[in-house]
Structure 1
C-alpha cells in the first residue's frame, strides 16, 4: 500500500470508528435512562445531554426513541436470519431454525457486549415487557419477523406461504418456544448468554415430545430433555390425519 493510499483510507477508518462510538454511547445512555426512570418519562433531550451531543446527532443514528429501545434486539434478530439463510439445504425446517438460533447465541454475546452489557440488555427486555407502548411495538415486530422467517423457510422448501400453511405453522411453533425462553431468561437470575443458549436448547428439545408425545408417560426434567426429532417434525412429512 502506498503512503498516499494509506493516508486516504485512514481518515475514513477513524471517522467510522468515531461514528460507531457515538452511536454506541447514545444507545447505552438511552437504555440506561429507559430502565432506570422509565421509557415514557425519558426524553431525547435527556439522552443527548448524557452524551453531550445535539438532537440532530441523535436523529442521525436513530429515527426515534423506539428504535433505540429495540436496537439490540434488532441486532440479535438479524444475526439469526443471517445464520438461517446459511443453513445447509438438506436440513429440515425445525433443524435449520434450531441450529441457526443456537449458532447465533454462540457469537451474539460478544457482539452485545461491544455495545451494551448483557445485564443492561436483560433490563431492557424487562422494560419492554412492562411498557404498554413498547409491548405493542414488540408484538408488531414479532409478527413481521415471523413472516420473514416463514418466507425464508418456504423458499428453502420450494413452497408458497400464500397457499401452503406449513411454513407459517412451523415458524409459529418455533417462535412460541423462543418467546417462552426469552421471558424465562428475562426474569431469571443468570444474565449470561450461556444460560440463554442452554435454556433455548432445552426448550426447543421439548417441542417434539410436547406436540407428539404421550403426556401421561413419565418425562425427564427439561434440563435433560430428549433431543428434538427433526425428522418427526419436518412439515413435509406430517401425516394426513383426515
Structure 2
C-alpha cells in the first residue's frame, strides 16, 4: 500500500524527481476528505428519502433533511441545488445505466425494441434491488410522482433536458446525423413522453400492469407495433372508397 501511495504521489513529476513530503502528506488526506464528502452526501439522500416517505415531499423542508444528518442547510446546498435535486440524482443513475444497457443491445436491433429492452431491464433492476439500486428509493419516487405535481413536473422537465443525449444515442444506432434527420428527435421525444404516461396510467384500467416496468413495457410494445391507428370511421362501409 505504501508503495502504491508513493507511486501515485509522483505522478506528473519528471523522472528522478519526487513530490515533496508536504504533497505526499496531502494525498491520503484528500482521499479521506472525498470519502467523508461521499458519506455526507449519501446520508443526506437517506435522510431526504426517509422524510419524503414519512411526511410527503411538500411537507419536508431542506432544514429538516439537514438537521437529521446534523449538518447545516448551507452544507445541504453544497451537494444539491434543491430537495427536488435529491430525487433527480437517482433518476440520473437510472438514465446512466439505461444508456449503457441501450449501447449493449445488438447492433441490428430496431431502435424502439432496443430502448424497450434496455429500459425495462434497468427498471426491473431498480424494482428488485439488483445492480446496487435501492428498491425503496425507487418505490418512494413512484409514489411521489403519483401524489406530488411538483415532483412529476420536475421529473418531466428533467427528462426534457436529456432529450439531446437521447437523440444522440438514437442517431448513433440508426447511423444518421440528427442535424439533418428528424427521426432521432421524434423517437427521443416520444419515448420520454411514454415514460411519464406509464406513471400516469399505472394502476388504471388502461394498462394491465402493477409494476412500472411492466407498464412501460406494455406501452413501448404498443409503440413498436405502430401508432398510426385506423380511425373508427374507417371501419364503416359508408366510408369505403
TM-score grouping bracket, smaller chain normalisation: 0.5 to 0.7
Q: Could you tell me which residue of structure 2 aligns to residue 112 of structure 1? A: 133
- Work out the CA distance in 2 between the residues paired with 1:40 and 1:213: 40
Match of 1:219? none
- Structure 1 Cα separation of the partners of residues 106 and 215 of structure 2: 24
**Structure 1 equivalent of residue 55 of structure 2:** 37
The count of aligned residue pairs is 206
Q: Among residues 169, 175, 182, which one is paired with 1:158 in the alignment?
A: 175
Q: Which residue of 1 aligns with 2:5?
A: 5
Distance 2:150 2:75 in 1: 25
- Aligned to 2:52, the other structure's residue is in SS state helix
Tell me what 1:140 maps to: 157
Q: What displacement does 1:4 show?
A: 7.1
Separation in structure 2 between the aligned mates of residue 215 and residue 17 of structure 1, nearest angstrom = 60
Which of 85, 109, 118 is 1:100 aligned to?
118
Contact 2:195 2:216 in 1 (8 A): yes
Indicate which of 169, 184, 206 corresponds to 1:167. Answer: 184
Contiguous gaps of at least 5 residues in structure 2: 7-23, 205-209, 233-241
Alignment partner of 1:53 is 2:71? yes
Q: Give per-residue Cα distances to partners, 1:87-119, cap 9 Å, x unaligned.
A: 343332123212321342354433232xxxx23
Q: Tell whether 2:217 aligns with 1:201.
A: yes
SS in 1 for 2:71: coil
Task: Give matches, 1:47-86, under 5 Å.
Answer: 47-86=65-104
**Any gaps of 5 or more consecutive residues in structure 1?**
189-193, 217-242
CA separation of 1:176 and 1:106: change in aligned 2, threshold 3 A: same
Measured in 1, the distance between the counterparts of 2:231 and 2:32 equals 59
Displacement, 1:138? 2.1
Verify the 8 A CA contact 1:72 1:112 in the aligned structure 2. Answer: no
SS at match of 2:162: helix
- Of 197-206 and 89-98, more deviation after overlay is shown by 197-206
What is the RMSD computed on CA atoms of the aligned residues?
3.5
**Structure possessing the higher radius of gyration over alpha carbons:** 2
Point out which structure has higher relative CO (alpha carbons under 8 A, 6+ apart).
1
The Cα shift of 1:67 comes to 0.7
Q: Distance in 1 between the 2:145 and 2:211 partners?
A: 20
